[in-house]
A and B are shown apart, each in its own frame.
Chain A
Amino acid sequence: VYRVFENVAEKYDVMNDSMSLGIHRVWKDILMHKMNPTPGTLLVDVAGGTGDIAFRFINYVRSVRERQLQQKLRHHQNLSWQEISKSYEEEKSNPLGDSQVVVCDINKEMLKAGKQRAQHLGYSEGLSWVLGNAEELPFDDNKFDVYTIAFGIRNVTRIDLALQEAYRVLKPGGRFLCLEFSHVSNPLLSRLYDLYSFQVIPVLGEVIAGDWKSYQYLVESIRRFPPQEELKAMIEDAGFLKVDYQNLNSGIVAIHSGFKL
Chain B
Amino acid sequence: LKCQLYTPQQCLHASAALRRASEEQRKEPPTPSSQQQFDTQQADPHPEQEAWGPQPSYTGQDGQESEDYESEEQLQHRILTAALEFVPEHGWTAEAIAEGAKTLGLSAAAAGMFHSDGSELILHFVSQCNTKLSDLLEQEQKQVQLGEAEKKPTDQFLRDAVEARLRMVIPYIEKWPQAVSVLLLPHNIPSSLNLLTSMIDDIWHYAGDQSTDFNWYTRRAVLTGIYNTTELVMMQDTSPDFEDTWRFLENRVADAMNMSSAAQQVQSTGKALAQGLMGAAVTVSNAEASRAAR
Q: Measuring CB to CB, which residues of chain A are less than 8 angstroms from any residue of chain B?
A: 34-38, 40-41, 145-146, 170-175, 233, 236-237, 239, 241-242, 257, 259, 261
A35 CB contacts on chain B under 8 angstroms: 109, 112
Residues of A within 8 A of B106 (CB): 171-173, 261
B61 within 8 A of A: no
Residues of A within 8 A of B109 (CB): 35, 37, 41, 145-146, 171, 173-175, 259
Segment 27-83 of B: residues with Cβ below 8 Å from A? 42, 45, 55, 57-58, 68, 71-72, 75
Question: Please, what's the 1-or-0 string for B218-240, where 1 marks a CB less than 8 Å from any CB in chain A?
Answer: 00000000000000000000000
Q: Mark B97-112, 1 if CB is under 8 A from A, else 0.
A: 0100100111111111
What is the bound-complex CA distance between A37 and B108, given in angstroms? 8
17 residue pairs of the A-B complex, CB under 8 angstroms, read A38-B95, A38-B111, A145-B107, A170-B107, A171-B107, A173-B106, A173-B108, A174-B107, A233-B57, A237-B57, A237-B58, A241-B72, A242-B72, A259-B112, A261-B71, A261-B106, A261-B110
User: DSSP class of B's interface residues: helix, strand, loop or mixed?
Assistant: helix
Q: Could you list which residues of chain B lie within 8 angstroms of chain A, going by C-beta atoms? A: 42, 45, 55, 57-58, 68, 71-72, 75, 94-95, 98, 101, 104-113, 116
CB distance from B60 to the nearest CB of A (A): 11
| A170–B107 CA distance with the chains assembled, in angstroms | 9
Known: A38-B95, A145-B107, A173-B110. 6 other contacts (CB 8 A): A40-B108, A145-B108, A171-B106, A174-B110, A237-B55, A261-B72
Q: Which residue of the partner chain B has the closest CB to A146?
A: B109
CB distance from A182 to the nearest CB of B (A): 20
Closest residue to A176 on the B side, CB-wise? B109
Using CB atoms, name the residue of chain B closest to A40: B108
Chain A residues within 8 Å of B108, by CB: 38, 40-41, 145, 173
A40 to B98, CA, bound (A): 11
In the assembled complex, the Cα of A117 lies from the Cα of B229 at a distance in Å of 58
Residues of B within 8 A of A38 (CB): 94-95, 98, 108, 111
Residues in B neighbouring A37, C-beta threshold 8 A: 109
Contact A257 B112 (CB under 8 A): yes
Chain B residues with Cβ below 8 Å from A259 are 109-110, 112-113
Q: Which residues of A contact B105 (CB under 8 A)?
A: 172-173
| B75 and A261 form a contact (CB under 8 A) | yes
Tell me how far the C-beta of B102 lies from the nearest C-beta in chain A, rounded to whole angstroms: 8
Residues of B within 8 A of A170 (CB): 107
Specify which chain B residues have a CB less than 8 angstroms from the CB of A237 in the assembled complex.
55, 57-58
Among A40, A145, A236, the residue within 8 A (CB) of B57 is A236
Question: How far is it, in angstroms, between the C-alpha of A145 and the C-alpha of B111 when the chains are bound?
Answer: 11
For the complex of A and B, the 6 pairs showing the least CB-CB separation, nearest first, are A173-B106, A173-B110, A173-B107, A175-B109, A171-B107, A145-B107
B41 to chain A, nearest CB (A): 10
